Amino acid sequence: MSDTHLTQSDSTTVRRERPSRNLAALLGRNEQMREVRQLIERVADTDATVLIAGESGTGKGLVARDIHAASPRRERPFVKVNCAALPSELLESELFGFERGAFTGAVQHRPGKFEFAHQGTMFLDEISELTPGLQSKLLQVLQDGEFSRLGGREDVHVDVRVLAATNQDLERAVGERTFREDLFFRLNVVCITLPPLRQRRDEIAVLTDVFLQQYAARYNKPRLAVSADTLRILGEYDWPGNVRELENVVKRMVILGGDSQVAQELADIMAGRRGMMALTTSPDARVLRREPPTSLPSPAPVPPASPEASAPAEPPAAPVSGSLKEIARNAAREAEREIIYRTLQQTRWNRREAADLLGVSYKALLYKIKEADLDRAS
């Protein structure tokens, strides 16, 4: 089976060429990232298993490629598998292959990705998504360098270096018994943790400049000059999608030929989030009142008031329907709906990208879109 055929799957890629060493430009220069680069240099020329941790969009795949590029295996295959992109049944056959007749439709023998990664590097992205059965088979590969294909009777021996990435807390998963403790220890020989972009805001301007140059050259566009106000907004934004989100934002600026529209969208998102946070954290701080009617009936005659009660009294406000908690909950729901709608507009209704920007799972966003009745708006 040729490499060309293998690269047609979105969940798996096989590369024999040496990955580009652009890590220093994209991962920054501050103290945290300097430590990350030093750790990469120390582990690259070994065969140690490396666990790369960090939020989505922080550059875990880039770190994996750089480790491979700096290793003695650099001329051998670099194979990436996204463990969350396929159902467990298909993922097992992708990783370990199958024999003819192993299941309905298995009309011929097919090797797995571990065999294609022989003498090279296997990068398992989103490792936390592995089912218990696949965790056991992966543990066997790490311990003994062997596995069996689906429907196979003989073990297959491979020489593969394994790099794994996760955006989840694997130690917590071990405590919750959803991830094997022995597999965690095998993967966590060396752990490289990438900080989120909001913890290294001093590098946002530098990364913005890198992406401006990159996409101006790619799209044959003039070099875009970003205003000081836009740079301020970029520096204040929390970047739930991290470097990947910043890259997409800068790409839009280059394509649109200006930064004002994108900057305004980010400013609106920040304003909406601040409003929703104020409502959800201090529900009793805001009481929604109805305006009094514009005209009131003439008051009935009343007896003269005592001197103590002679001060004019304000007319009573109209009654508020619902408790304070209900009012705050409804207001927060409306604010959340507005944020989701604006984010969907920003991503041109790409729901998966919007989920990354909002820091929620794809399924959770679909549920919220349905709950907010936003499907018709698309």
- pLDDT band per the 50, 70, 90 thresholds, residue 21: very low
The whole-number average pLDDT for the span 300-311 is: 50
User: What pLDDT score was predicted for residue 189?
Assistant: 95
Q: In this predicted structure, what is the pLDDT of residue 184?
A: 97
Helix (H, G, I), strand (E, B) or coil at 71: coil
Q: Which whole-number Å values give the CA distances from 257 to 31, 217, 219, 229, in the listed order? A: 34, 13, 11, 17
Residue 92 has pLDDT above 50, yes or no: yes
Q: Contact 197/58 with Cβ under 8 angstroms? A: yes
Same domain, 19 and 138: yes
pLDDT band at 166 (very low <50, low <70, confident <90, very high): very high
Encode pLDDT of 288-304 as tens digits.
333 444 444 445 555 55
Banded model confidence at residue 14, pLDDT cuts 50, 70, 90: low
Q: Which domain holds residue 231?
A: 199-285+322-371
Same structural domain for residues 232 and 248?
yes
Most confident stretch, 27-36, 190-199, 325-334 = 190-199
Q: Could you tell me the pLDDT band of residue 340, with boundaries at 50, 70 and 90? A: confident
For residue 331, pLDDT beyond 80? no
Q: Same domain, yes or no, for 72 and 147?
A: yes
Whether residue 215 is found in the same domain as residue 347: yes
The model's confidence at residue 186, banded by pLDDT at 50, 70 and 90, is very high
Return the pLDDT at 333. 76
| pLDDT reading at 109 higher than 90 | no
Provide the percentage of residues in the chain whose pLDDT is more than 70: 73
Is residue 183 domain-shared with residue 204, that is, in the same domain? no
Q: Does 157 lie in the same domain as 10? A: yes
Q: Which of 149, 169, 195 is the last residue of a domain?
A: 195
Is 300 within the bounds of a domain? no
User: For residue 86, what pLDDT band results from cuts at 50, 70 and 90?
Assistant: confident
The reply to whether 122 and 212 lie within a common domain is no
Give yes or no for a contact between 151 and 37, defined as CB atoms under 8 angstroms apart: no
Residue 310 has pLDDT above 70, yes or no: no
d(C-alpha 5, C-alpha 194), whole Å = 33
Final residue of a structural domain among 195, 212, 231? 195
> Is residue 43 included in any domain, yes or no?
yes
Do 116 and 82 reside in the same domain of the chain? yes
User: What pLDDT, on a 0 to 100 scale, did the predictor assign at position 365?
Assistant: 82
Q: Mean pLDDT for the chain?
A: 80
Give pLDDT, residue 290.
Answer: 38
The SS3 of residue 65 is helix
* Domain assignment of residue 306, yes or no: no
In a domain, 156, yes or no: yes
In this model, does residue 26 exceed pLDDT 50?
A: yes
Closest CA to 184 of 239, 123, 142: 142
- Give the residue with greater pLDDT, 243 vs 313: 243
- Spatial strand order of the sheet with 190-193 comes to 12-15, 78-82, 121-125, 161-166, 50-53, 190-193
Judge if 167 and 112 occupy the same domain.
yes
Q: How many whole angstroms separate alpha carbon 111 and alpha carbon 122?
A: 15
Q: Which residues are within 8 A (CB) of 269 and not within 5 positions of it... i.e. 6 or more apart?
A: 237, 339, 342, 343, 346
Q: Report the CATH number at residue 109.
A: 3.40.50.300
pLDDT value, residue 369: 86
Of the pLDDT bands very low, low, confident and very high (cuts 50, 70, 90), residue 31 is confident
User: Quick one: the chain helix, strand, coil %, rounded to 5?
Assistant: 50, 10, 40
Number of domains forming the structure of the chain = 2
The verdict on residue 261 lying in a domain is yes
Q: What is the pLDDT of residues 255-277, one digit of tens each?
A: 999 989 998 989 888 887 665 55
> Maximum Cα–Cα distance for the chain, whole Å?
105
Q: What is the CATH number of the domain that holds 332?
A: 1.10.8.60
Residue 307 in any domain: the answer is no
Of residues 153 and 126, more confidence is placed in: 126
Cα angle value 127/79/248 (rounded, 5°): 75
pLDDT over 90 (residue 321): no
More confident residue, 373 or 245: 245
**Residue 275 domain-assigned?**
yes
Amino acid type, 126: E
Shared domain for 128 and 9, answered yes or no, is yes
- Assign 374 a pLDDT band (cuts: 50, 70, 90): confident
Higher pLDDT among residues 293 and 78, named by residue: 78
Rounded Cα gap, residues 194 and 60, in angstroms: 7
Of 152, 180, 195, which residue is a domain's last? 195
Instruction: Determine the average pLDDT of the residues in 73-99.
Output: 88
49 pLDDT higher than 90: yes
Residue with tokens 């109209």: 318
Residues 101 and 27 grouped into a single domain = yes
pLDDT at 161: 96
In order, the DSSP letters of 234-273 are HHHS--TTHHHHHHHHHHHHHHHT-SHHHHHHHHHHHHHH
pLDDT at 66 over 90: yes
Regarding whether 180 and 50 lie in a shared domain, the answer is: yes
316 belongs to a structural domain: no
